[in-house]
Chains A and B, each alone.
Chain A
Amino acid sequence: MGYAAARGGLDAILAAEELMRAKRDGGSSPPLGIEQVTERLNLAVDRVMGEAALWAPQLAAVALRQAEGDLIEAAHLLRAYRSTRPRLVPALPVHADELEILRRIVPAYRVPPGPQLLGRTLDYVGRLLDVGAAPTAPARTVPAPAEPEASGARADGDTRRPGRLLDLLRSQGMVRDRRRGDDPEPHDVTKDPVRPGAPRSARLSIMARAETGALVNLWYRNILGPDGYIHEVTLGEVRHGRLPVRVTHPVTGQPVSIGSVRVTEVEAIEDLDGADEERGLFDVGYGLCLGHNERKAIAMANLDIAVERDGGRSPLEQSVLMTTDGLDASGFLEHLKLPHYVTFRSMVDRKAAIRAAARQRAADVKQ
């Protein structure tokens, strides 16, 4: 026997799969091309790559299409794919100063060192629903800024790799120096699970993979919610740009650039105002995630410095490390749909036992 008795469940899930496929791949419009997704829905692609922690625009687009636009589902597909792939070569560390900016703003100064480069942003575009005809490629009214080549050619000299505000503050001795010489290898959160008391590299990795909405919510909870208070920081840098990916060449042993990734980088300048803190100094929180996702990087930088300042006094670090992963939270939430009749029967049993015990007590009191 064996198989026959287990057939009912399998038939049902095969039918459910078929229903999913029929609606997704059927319909009257032409199938969605991968290039359409990477070009027209590029912010969704970036977000999926960030939450999946894998730079792979084409695969992310395939995942988004397969997931019918469900971002968490797409991130899950991409991460599950990633976990079947062996790790061939670790990339070499790159300094974030190598970031070739496509956009950079420094809210802390009117005229910071280096450019204020608005770049591509919806920040100042009116949120007016465009219900007119389908969009077409616009006639250029302003000359398009020359986008730097991924190879690293500098279109505008050093203005594409400006210094950062932090350097200015450091040169003025205004920032708490937390740089360390004994810098260990970054904690790989996909190999060693993290627990509270984790090194900063683990905290930053966790947040780089976290769900955008979870970070935004955790930040806002601590601004307006009941369970804590974190500062509104002043942003020192908000950058979007390209970072090179380098590996050691297997033959020559020399570093070789094999491509680039786009990242969003944020530095959050924190006013140290606690009684036991160095009041004469600022500190800095850091955020960096794959793709163009400023919301996420800002929340990340703010939470990074908040955890640092908290120093394990409140549950904030545990919240950051343990509750912001989109796949963990969504998967566990949705598991409530699984059958629970074995556990529920056990609960009903206890309810009956409590009621019987109460009746017995009442009877004992009467006697």
Chain B
Amino acid sequence: MTVKDLAASAALEEFAHLDEQSKREIRSALLTAVAVPGYQVPFASREMPVARGWGSGGLQVTLALIGPDDTVKVIDQGDDAGVNAANLRRLIVASSGAADTTDAREASIVQTRHRIPEDPLGPDQVLVLQVPVPEPLRGVERDMRELRRMHAEADYSAIWLSLYEDLVRNGVITQSTGYPVLVGGRYVMATSPVPRWDVPKLHQAEFLSLFGAGREKRVYAVPPYTDVEPLAFEDVAFEVERTEGASCLLCGAVDAYLVEVPASQGWICSDTDWCARRRPDEPPDGTAGRQLVSEGPEVADARV
């Protein structure tokens, strides 16, 4: 090989954006993560074309896994049309040639921020979760050396104590999203943050879940058929989000994660594609939902 050859190879556009060496490093970290469920594996997080905190970790995981035959679904808050989901999707699709879909049942890889789809995922599917804060114990300990010790020794007394104090002071456990779970009976893990509604979907799941925290340079995993137990007391049940009498204004769903629409004094499904499929008579472009939630002029029409 000559210097010229080297320079020429360097000039090529890489498949799936990252160079092969970077992808190998990420895959290697992911294999460690799968082998040690719930353990945060450090990885050499690359600078991506999206900012840190905007899904750069999930994006690296997806790009390390994806092949041209994959079909990818990308959601933010459960919505395929969210602007950041749209941006991540076009990066993934343009650099890999993979197909995209909004139907969770058709996707081989689902990259998501803050939700797990309502459709049950199967053994041929991989869920990639974007993670802002991978450390479940940060609320009870700030020092990183001490945090390492606590995980290494499975010393989780501080977080149990904080849950107990929470219960005593407030009458309920007040943790909203990112609820801490014990994975495989060993590591306490932060759940992304997805709502508590989605946490039970991880327990003994048929699918593989990969968590990518780009800014904090950690990946972790829940392999299929792994125990994922929310930290809760025997006599105080783990509670998911529920509002008495709430149902989706669009599809009527009661048994789904609903988000409030104050202007309409009602609720709609956060999983927009699942919701749209329950309304087959409407155009499948999501416009019904958008009209309901939009306030003021469409973003696309804004002019300065």
Residue interface bits A116-140, CB-to-B below 8 A is 1, else 0: 0000000000000000000000000
Complex Cα–Cα for A7 and B300 (A): 11
Among B47, B53, B171, contact of A79 (Cβ-Cβ < 8 Å): B47
A92 at the interface (CB under 8 A from B): no
* Chain A residue contacts of B21, Cβ below 8 A: 86-87
B170 within 8 A of partner (CB): yes
Total B residues in contact with A, Cβ cutoff 8 Å: 92
| Contact, CB under 8 Å: A83 / B46 | yes
Report the bound CA distance from A190 to B42 in whole Å.
Answer: 12
Q: What A residues does B139 contact at CB under 8 A? A: none
A322 in contact with B144 (CB, 8 Å)? yes
Residues in B with CB closer than 8 Å to A9 are: 79-87
Q: Which of B14, B83, B132 contacts A332 (CB 8 A)?
A: B132
Q: Are B242 and A2 in touch, CB under 8 angstroms?
A: no
Per-residue CB proximity of B183-212 to A under 8 Å, as 1/0? Answer: 000000000011111000000000000000
Choose among A80, A342, A358 the residue that contacts B257 (Cβ–Cβ < 8 A).
A342
Q: Mark A53-91, 1 if CB is under 8 A from B, else 0.
A: 000000000000000000000001001101111111000
B10 touches A88 (CB 8 A): yes
| Chain A: interface residue total (CB-CB under 8 A) | 67
Q: CB-CB < 8 A to A190: which residues of B?
A: 44, 46
**Among candidates A6, A82, A197, A328, residue contacting B80 with C-beta atoms closer than 8 Å:** A6
- A335 interface contact, C-beta 8 A: yes
Instruction: State the main secondary structure of chain B at its contact with A.
Output: loop
Q: Interface 1/0s, chain B 1-22, versus A by CB < 8 A? A: 0010011011000100111111
Instruction: Looking at the assembled complex, report how far the CB atom of B77 sits from the nearest CB atom of chain A, in whole angstroms.
Output: 5
Question: Which A residues lie within 8 Å of B82 (CB)?
Answer: 9, 339
Q: Which residues of B contact A (CB under 8 A)?
A: 3, 6-7, 9-10, 14, 17-22, 25, 42-49, 51-54, 56, 76-87, 89-90, 100-103, 106, 113-115, 132, 142-145, 148, 170-172, 174-177, 193-197, 215, 217-218, 239, 241-243, 257-260, 270, 272-273, 276, 284-286, 290, 298-304
Query: What residues make up the interface of A, taking CB atoms closer than 8 Å to B?
Result: 1-16, 19, 23, 76, 79-80, 82-88, 190-193, 195-197, 250, 312, 315, 318, 322, 327-328, 330-335, 338-343, 345-350, 352-354, 357-358, 360-361
20 other A-B residue contacts (CB within 8 Å) besides A14-B300, A87-B21, A345-B260: A6-B81, A9-B79, A11-B300, A15-B301, A84-B19, A86-B9, A195-B144, A196-B144, A197-B145, A330-B51, A331-B215, A332-B52, A341-B259, A342-B77, A342-B78, A345-B259, A346-B195, A349-B243, A350-B172, A353-B172
Task: Enumerate the 8 nearest inter-chain pairs by beta-carbon distance, A residue then B residue, closest first.
Answer: A357-B171, A331-B52, A9-B86, A335-B53, A331-B51, A193-B217, A332-B53, A79-B47
